Structure 1
């Protein structure tokens, strides 16, 4: 029986995922293929490679649940969502969404968001390098133009707000430190940024998140700071700005009219 290469490849991938070609004209030759001793070895090797990729991409999740639980859960995910890209560092984009609806993870309501933070780390790690705006450069601006500046977050920064103390759980496991006792079960934000080749992270307040959201939306420094203080009246804005610049959050756009409020 003559089979086109594309048809063979599609059927082969389905067979690796355990899809039986019953009722199709491919059933007979695919059954013959899958009965070969080497096919089971190949299928197991592919599965292990995918699980290992998820283990590497979501190390905090694995530390929280243990290797056995993670491997079994990852195998469920692999069968449902096999890789579509050769770069396995990109594998697991929707792993957090999978965990959110995965019944065995229901008793761990923070687990999906921990996976989201692991994913943010990957995105920051892989982001393009850009020159960063320094606090000295900001301070050198004329007072009249400072309020109208637009600070644009760089490509290698991510931030997110979580309804549970996910950042504390995630960062303590990443840093291999003990969780604070008692752990306060309240929402908190997370900021992840890469500077000089190193990925760092820090907690982010409501005001900090609001400020970064406003900067990303194109608001001026004056507008963004006003929104941040409205969201968190007790915010120490000077301290927030210093921490953001120390982390290298903003991209340098010297000579760009968008960076001096002319937009």
Structure 2
């Protein structure tokens, strides 16, 4: 058996959780030494998966507790093994895995919390964006049907049937953490959904719940729609001037572009 075959046999055994028996004949070592080596590989793989997911999904870990999160991480590692060496991308399929888990059916908001954690992680890794303020003059010169506003790569939006922004904020450190946790519990009890806006302030991601009109407007911009269509989607409750001021102040906006 060549080296590639031995490596593939090791990976199949790790994913199958077969106590190392399938490695017999694939490597030269046998007996207790083989089993110890296999167990070390499995433990290290599971621990690496847990660390990667804990860094990516701190809200999910806080909601489940460390022991339950560790079990989830290892189960996910076996069900969805990393396809690349970069574990920073490990976890893209975790929300769907959570939704399919009968054991997690009593925390139906957990999958969207994982989605928001993922957006936050991508936000902090996104390329820097600088606003081309000179391009904003086009707002007064070009028909809205022929103009788009481009948001910086770090901006994202998650619309959920659950109060995901409140839950995310409730599990961040700070003097008012207890008040934020109480607010999240109240939102869950009310069955309130939220639109979570994500952006970066310096090197750190920020999350804020936004209203229905602002969410529809933002999603239209993220979809690359012209301003006329974005305005129609937002509806009468949307106020453009206050939004534009916030967009410039918080660094959401990259440029205005002719279509």
Structures share fold, TM-score greater than 0.5: yes
Correspondences of 1:38-187 after superposition (within 5 Å): 38-134=37-133, 138=136, 140-141=137-138, 143-145=140-142, 147=144, 148-175=146-173, 176=177, 177-180=180-183, 182-183=186-187, 184-187=190-193
Q: Are 2:251 and 1:248 aligned?
A: yes
Secondary structure at 2:25 match in 1: helix
**Consecutive unaligned residues in structure 1, runs of 5 or more:** 254-258
Distance 2:56 2:224 in 1: 32
Partner of 1:28: 25
Q: Give the structure 2 partner of residue 256 of structure 1.
A: none
RMSD, aligned CA = 2.7
In terms of mean alpha carbon deviation, does 148-157 or 101-110 score higher? 148-157
Pairwise CA distance, 1:196: 3.2
Query: Is the 1:215–1:224 Cα contact (8 Å) retained in structure 2?
Result: yes
Relative to the length of structure 1, the TM-score reads 0.82
Does structure 2 retain, via aligned residues, the 8 Å contact 1:188–1:203?
yes
Larger mean Cα displacement after TM superposition, 114-123 or 170-179? 170-179
More helix per residue:
2
Equivalent residues, number? 248
Alpha-carbon separation, structure 2, partners of 1:118 and 1:203: 14
Name the TM-score, length of structure 2 as normaliser. Answer: 0.84
Question: 1:181-196 alignment to 2 at 5 Å?
Answer: 182-183=186-187, 184-196=190-202
* d(CA) in 2 for partners of 1:27, 1:38: 12
